Structure 1
Amino acid sequence: MSRRTLDSPEAVRFLVDSFYKKVQADTFIGPIFTDVAQVDWSNHLPKMYAFWESLILGNNAYDGHPFRPHLVINQKHTLTIDHFERWLQLFSETITENFTGEAAEQVRQRATQIALVWNNKLQYLNS
């Protein structure tokens, strides 16, 4: 399959769907989504489409507070740098396998920033 540019809502949805298939199958972070957070994928995925569309396409599709749910999850199961690193590894793999171009690299960098900042916030709150 040829790699594509990350420049449309359809491409963003493909990214999100491909990434969360990896997440759900992952033995390390998958259970955090399924067992701890008990994610309702039919509700979660549209939020993730909007979140990433806002970041990648700048279309302001997302209106919310993405960090808040992670605070709730962290109260049930402490999230560590290992969780964020695995999330980032799966995200980066998904980008590499499916996308090419400047937008793909920018979103990889943005995901890295998000993972680091959120990990730091949670570690501070846990201390």
Structure 2
Amino acid sequence: MAQFNDISTFEDIKLLVNTFYSKVQKDEFIGPIFNEKIGNRWPEHLEKMYRFWQTILLEVHSYSGSPFPPHKQLPVAKEHFDRWMQIFTETTDNLFSGPLADEAKLRAKNMAEMFNYKIDYFRNLEKSQTDNS
């Protein structure tokens, strides 16, 4: 079995993000959603993701912003987050091993669950407001 190093550098972050999103773009289930939303802005999205994960995993505070709002109106459900998480976990496990790799998977899982919960919440809120008007 191959021995993998842990995530420890900005180059590791870039490898994880680039590998993960190249799989996402090609995925039949979630790829079309990402490709439609991001369009030709993939380089900017990847740069933002590098900074996001660098801040979370390497404690280099290069990301600022609120990650949820751009996702609020996406046409996604739990199955989409499950697929996203499956690809993220497989990508991480195929590239890295160690405490920061485990932290990346945990943070991704928590984020997917929170985003899914918040998207459902706002959808239900909008639906109830529409139903009551």
Gaps of 5+ in 2: 125-133
Q: Does 1:16 align with 2:13?
A: no
Question: Which of 1 and 2 has greater Rg?
Answer: 2
What's the offset of the Cα at 1:16? 0.2
Matched to 1:118, the amino acid is F
Select which of 103, 109, 113 maps to 1:106: 103
Q: 1:114/1:39 Cα in 2 relative to 1: closer, same or farther (>3 Å)?
A: farther
Per-residue CA deviations over 1:41-62 (Å, capped at 9, x if unaligned) read: 1111100000010010111110
What SS does structure 2 have at the residue aligned with 1:5?
coil
Kept in 2, the 8 Å contact 1:19–1:94? The answer is yes
Deviations 1:11-58 (A, max 9, x none): 001000010011011000000011244251111110000001001011
Letter in 1 for 2:80: H
Aligned counterparts of 2:81 and 2:40: Cα–Cα separation in 1: 17
Question: What corresponds to 1:53 in structure 2?
Answer: 54
Aligned twin of 2:81: 84
- Cα distance in 1 for partners of 2:18, 2:12 equals 10
The separation in 2 between residues aligned to 1:36 and 1:45, in whole angstroms, is 14
Change (3 A) 1:65 1:39: farther
Q: TM-score, normalised by structure 2?
A: 0.87
- For this pair of structures, how many residues does the alignment match? 123
Q: Report percent identity of matched pairs.
A: 38
Is the contact between residue 54 and residue 62 of structure 1 (CA under 8 Å) also seen in structure 2?
A: yes
Moved over 6 A (4+): none
Q: Secondary structure at the match of 1:120?
A: helix
* Contact residue 30 and residue 80 of structure 2 kept, 8 A: yes
TM-score normalized with structure 1 length: 0.91
Gaps of 5+ in 1: none
